[in-house]
Amino acid sequence: MSAFHFDFEKQRPRISRREAIRRALFVTSGLVLANHISFRAFGAAPSARAKAVIQVWMWGGPSHTDIFDPKPDAGYDYCGPLKTPIETNVSGIRIGELLPVLAKQADKYSIIRSMTHGNNGHETAAYITQTGRQPGGRLVYPAVGSVVSLTKGYDAGYKGLIPPYIVLTEPQGRFDEAGFLGAKYRPFATGGNPAQTPFAVEGIIAPGITAEHQKGRRELLHHLDTLAQALPADPQVVANAQAENAAYDMILGDGAKVFDLSEEKPELRDRYGRNKFGQSCLVARRLIERGIPYVTINSGGWDTHKNNFQTMQRQLPELDKGMGTLLQDLAERGLLDSTIVWWGGEFGRTPKVQWEAPWNGGRGHWGKVFSSVVAGGGFKGGHVIGASDAKGEEVKERPVYPVDVIGSIYAQLGIEAATKLPNPEGQPTFVMPQPADGIKSAGLLKEIMSA
């Protein structure tokens, strides 16, 4: 485990968020400065149903039996005080009792109750769940967001000012999302807290500097730039001016407006929940609305070794309002059909509660079986795939491996499994594992994939 973690850290130097936004703006500016831009032909296949993904990532590993796979008949040592699951608006599907808003949206999503990979380490399980690959090989493979950034981003004709892969709000950490694809395909993590006013996105909103002050700085820069004044038609001066305009539009113009939640009705913000997670869900919708192909909402605090039920009482209502409203809002705006919402974490939690000290009602790591949720973008709602056993300890039927979910998401996005990735060692490497790679798979989620 330690060697595996060391490889990740070695390949991913730590940089500040301000440096990350500088690099993102450099990429944007580079599109303007380039004399000839040649995009690789990654275009979507004719069968593409989705244009974008919102990944709702539960960092730490959420308890499957407390959320989407309740086991009330297993007894108190398994379900604790959360022993009364609630009916949803789809007959026969019940979910955790602290999720009344999501219960009314069950026709929009499908639950996978037989996820499995058997790995109980945060770093390694997160890598498996987000890349579909096994850890420990010569290469660190890219996560789904980076593959989408490669195939749907700047290399494929995306021209937005905002980078094509955004994380709200903190970096996911502990593994390199871009892997061997490199820094260009890492996500831009916004930092800040969208529940605060203003939402101080790192590198866009500078603490203590107003928009008027920022404009004044720009005017002073122009006043001092005698070279640009002397040679206004010089190609390099013109290109620099275009790059500057793009950068300032990101800071002061339409690029920044996407993060300004004051444009939303207060009632809608209340429905999402006036907390970091709920408002992150709202920002994600705004980003998708403006053509960003991949947004991750990174929600921490799910590593409930201690006091699991106290954490559930606090965090599940926030999850319920934020994700439940997101699904409804996307549907009402006609965006759900083209947007995949993918919920889950790196694994589940031990079904049997650890009541003894020092855990005091905690749950440990559990990679044998856990749950995930998919909605929109060509995935049917109102279904359950697979099942765990009576206590939520093992897969009972229809195992689903991370690579199966990832492959299904790629298929809905029109990303061909045989799309080649730029391998730094020059070897043929593809978006999806090949049979010789030995990755366990039970096949795509065809039960819930629209024809």
The pTM (predicted TM-score) of the whole model is 0.84
Lowest mean pLDDT among 101-105, 170-174, 351-355: 170-174
Confidence at residue 319, expressed as pLDDT on a 0 to 100 scale: 98
Task: Determine the pLDDT at residue 15.
Answer: 46
Which is more confidently placed, 107 or 423? 107
Domain-embedded: residue 236: no
pLDDT at 359 over 60: yes
Residue 197 has pLDDT above 70, yes or no: yes
- Residue 393 belongs to a domain: yes
For 188, list phi and psi in degrees, rounded to 5.
Answer: -90, 115
CATH number at residue 339: 3.40.720.10
Mean pLDDT for all residues in the chain: 86
Residue 404 has φ and ψ, to the nearest 5°, of: -70, -40
Confidence at 6, pLDDT banded by 50, 70, 90: very low
| Domains: count for the chain | 1
Task: Tell me what pLDDT residue 283 has.
Answer: 98
Residue with tokens 């590198």: 203
List the domain range (segments joined by +) for residue 56. Answer: 2-34+41-205+259-448
- pLDDT of 207 higher than 70: no
In a domain, 169, yes or no: yes
Model pLDDT for residues 98-121, shown as the tens digit of each residue: 999 999 999 999 999 999 999 999
Confidence (pLDDT) at 19: 47
- Number of Cβ within a 10 Å radius of residue 108: 22
Assigned domain for 359 exists: yes
pLDDT at residue 23 in the model:
46
Is residue 235 in some structural domain?
Answer: no
Asked if the structure places residue 192 within a domain, the reply is yes
Q: Per-residue confidence at 184, pLDDT binned at 50, 70, 90?
A: very high
Report whether 293 contacts 164 (CB < 8 A).
Answer: yes
Which range, 8-17, 22-31, 72-81, is most confident? Answer: 72-81
Note whether residue 218 is domain-resident.
no
pLDDT in tens, 376-414: 999 999 999 999 999 999 999 999 999 999 999 999 999
Question: So what's the pLDDT on residue 347?
Answer: 98
Residue listed under structure tokens 């991370």: 402
Q: Is residue 239 assigned to a domain?
A: no
**pLDDT per position as a tens digit, 275-292:** 999 999 999 999 999 999
Residues contacting 197, CB < 8 A, separation 6+: 261, 262
Q: Tell me, what's the pLDDT at 210?
A: 55
Q: What percent of the chain has pLDDT over 70?
A: 79
Three-state DSSP class for residue 371? strand
Phi, psi of 311 (to 5 degrees): -65, -40
Task: Give the per-residue pLDDT at 216.
Answer: 55
For the chain, percent of residues with pLDDT exceeding 90: 71
In angstroms, the CA 70 to CA 67 distance is: 6
Report, as an integer, the average pLDDT of 346-358. 97
What gap in Å lies between CA 410 and CA 187, rounded to an integer?
Answer: 18
